[in-house]
Amino acid sequence: MNMMKAALAGAATLAITACGPLNDGNIATGAAEALKARVSGTPAAPAPTAPVLTRAQVDANPGGFMVLNAYNGTMVAALVAGAQNGNRTTWLSANGPSVTTQNGVMVATRGFPRDLMAADVDSVMRALIAGGGTATRVHETLSDTDQIVTQSFTCAVASQGRETIGILGRQIATERFGEACTSDALSFTNQYWIDDSGKMVRSLQAIAPDTGYIQLDRP
């Protein structure tokens, strides 16, 4: 617990809300891409973000940090690994949002204007492990009247080829996957970068309408 408090204190010191260069290479910087903050079915591009961690901090706590980038770089925070429940991890920020992931795929958020309250992504995980396929995911989100809304999506998961990305000074060889999802009322495309060990090191994932895509990096 003391270690977690210390890590959160460090994250608080480093958390910022400004744009700037963080990720090395492979970053789309066009204004049109940067404005894709809403869920529209068109995949967003990784956004440039300002540094919120040092390599020394990451090396001192391997696997213990995640960098969150929301609202096109206007909200950037270092998250610390908190509660673990099976293959689900809740990532905590010092003074803002939290994210829960299942082996890298988001299953819940807290602290955003419209949160993803819960998600069933088991089918998506199976498709990623298989290298592609069809999947069904179920989201529970909050409506404007704070009611739980349940939506089911049909998704197509496919490899988009090899890509080397840079995160916090390191070049990482990955395979990039796209997950194109549709329902009667909504569509979005998530993207995942998975390294050769099977670890999801970067993702762009949709939360809910009006919140848009979140970029998560595992340095």
Assess whether pLDDT exceeds 80 at residue 91. yes
- pLDDT, one tens digit per residue, over 133-147 is 999 999 998 887 888
Residue 48, pLDDT > 70, answer: no
Report which listed range, 16-20, 29-33, 39-43, 90-94, is most confident. 90-94
Number of domains in the chain: 1
Given its phi and psi angles, is residue 74 left (phi above 0), alpha (psi -120 to 50 degrees) or beta? Answer: alpha
Contact 97/112 with Cβ under 8 angstroms? yes
Residue 74 reports pLDDT greater than 90: no
- Mean pLDDT confidence for 53-60: 80
**Mean pLDDT for the chain?**
79
On the question of pLDDT at 90 being above 60, the answer is yes
C-alpha distance from residue 187 to each of 8, 39, 47, 165, 190 (Å): 35, 7, 21, 26, 10
Distance in angstroms (rounded) separating the CA atoms of residues 195 and 197: 5
Q: What is the pTM of this model?
A: 0.77
Residue 131 pLDDT more than 80? Answer: yes
What CATH number is given to the structural domain containing 30?
Answer: 2.40.360.10
Structural domain of residue 59, as residue ranges? 2-217
Which DSSP helix (H) or strand (E) runs through 108? strand 105-110
Distances (CA, A) of 127 to 16, 136, 179: 35, 10, 10
pLDDT of residue 168: 87
